[in-house]
Structure 1
């Protein structure tokens, strides 16, 4: 769409740009994507992008003077029967409406799109030549997760440091499971919780798999498969859920900025909405008995 000088941009125009990049038809059936609150005809001059639609990011949107908040995570994913102001989600809705700010959520449609959430994560780690880990159809360029390559192979210990350097710092940090000296070249990534794709990562023959929210038993069972003769499984890198999806905010902001006139200003939230705030303890020596 071409824009005339001084032409008014409305929420519906921003939604049009978003849904061209992240078609709602890609969203899972259980998901809740789209406009949560706000008038599609409301004028937009400033848009804030975030991972979580929390009170902290609404405060940031108010401070920025935004008319629209775009989040990755849905606010009302599970059914609700009301949004009273003395409830967390109700407070968010009331604050948005009182402040004249709309809320739009792009979740699993942004996960599957090309480019999407996992492309942004792969880019933050310096991966190239990416393709979907779980394509929506054979030979499709959309789907969940991505497989890519590092410019040069590097030891797993260096790769884990690369991941930590490429993502925002969190109390959760970055954890690696595997031989520190293992050479890493081909890598699978999945923004958000991706332990359901451990088998897909192993079948893809990658050297490492980066995702969030890895649980003890699935991770342990995955690594134990390496004990089977002739079997190789990827080393694992576990990062904070919020950190794995935060790079998408800049991707989405750039897409909207490119599609709309210069009268619309975009900003990526810098509020760390990862729920974990304190970390303690030293890195253990695997195989060493407790003192």
Structure 2
């Protein structure tokens, strides 16, 4: 008997429970017939024209995207709007779309945990623990061997897929680093967290001018972490392989692939 979408959805909810999502989030099934058969699944960070085209051309029955296509309210899905056009293409191709967003951030092998593991952090724990102290938002741990901010930034550049914006750092190139806090995706809301403040460096994405400037000035005055800012897409793309492996284990009969398309929105940078 072929696997149907409802069965895959049950597995998705077990791996990345919807109860773990933030109140403002919109994970879950976006489009698709729960009774439809599923043979091919493709993971992507973003459901955009490129990844939708790739999935349909590869005859995928399901896209599991990290970012919800309909995170914010819409009043139309007319096909002269990109969200409407994407949904129409998916429906016509019988390709379902599911989002696993903040509910996939907080689990044991979530976005930040995968990044922490790739960096080799030991004794890592959530920055913001959940009801289960082992689960929660972000991760903080220590490197087995101390390094410097510059070397750590270069290590990140090796680990993460290349993007136009690359890796940016605030702090001295030779500053010593051992305790590391990480948050995949946009993480400037955690800049004031005690675990982040106590770290030698905080790695996240989408650091805005004012929060980063204030954190830098506070660190100069009373101590605080150096900052490393990376691409939002790149910081979460590493999770896709881990997520795909979990789904393959649960459903070995499925063909599960990971999109390698770069959906970071920036194409080039002029360095002054």
Q: Which runs of 4+ in 1 moved over 3 A?
A: 201-204
Number of the residue aligned with 2:68: 74
Q: Aligned equivalents of 2:256 and 2:97: distance in 1?
A: 14
Counting matched residue pairs gives 272
Q: Aligned equivalents of 1:40 and 1:85: distance in 2?
A: 24
Gaps of 5+ in 2: none
Q: CA RMSD in A?
A: 1.4
TM-score w.r.t. structure 1 length?
A: 0.90
Larger radius of gyration: 1
Residue 151 of structure 1 deviates from its aligned partner by 2.3
Query: Is 1:249 equivalent to 2:240 in the alignment?
Result: yes
Residue 251 of structure 1 deviates from its aligned partner by 1.4
Residue 127 of structure 1 deviates from its aligned partner by 2.1
Number of the residue aligned with 2:7: 13
Number of the residue aligned with 2:255: 265
Q: Aligned equivalents of 1:97 and 1:114: distance in 2?
A: 33
Q: Aligned equivalents of 1:55 and 1:12: distance in 2?
A: 25
Q: What secondary structure sits across from 2:184 in the alignment?
A: strand
Q: What secondary structure sits across from 2:192 in the alignment?
A: helix
Q: What secondary structure sits across from 1:199 in the alignment?
A: coil
Deviations 1:25-61 (A, max 9, x none): 1111111110000011111111000000111100110
Q: List aligned pairs for 1:267-282, cutoff 5 A.
A: 267-282=257-272
Gaps of 5+ in 1: 1-6, 283-291
Q: List aligned pairs for 1:65-214, cutoff 5 A.
A: 65-137=59-131, 140-200=133-193, 205-214=198-207
TM-score w.r.t. structure 2 length?
A: 0.96
Q: What secondary structure sits across from 2:227 in the alignment?
A: strand
Q: What secondary structure sits across from 1:62 in the alignment?
A: helix
* Residue pair 1:160, 1:237 contacting (<8 A) in 2 also: yes
Residue 103 of structure 1 deviates from its aligned partner by 0.2
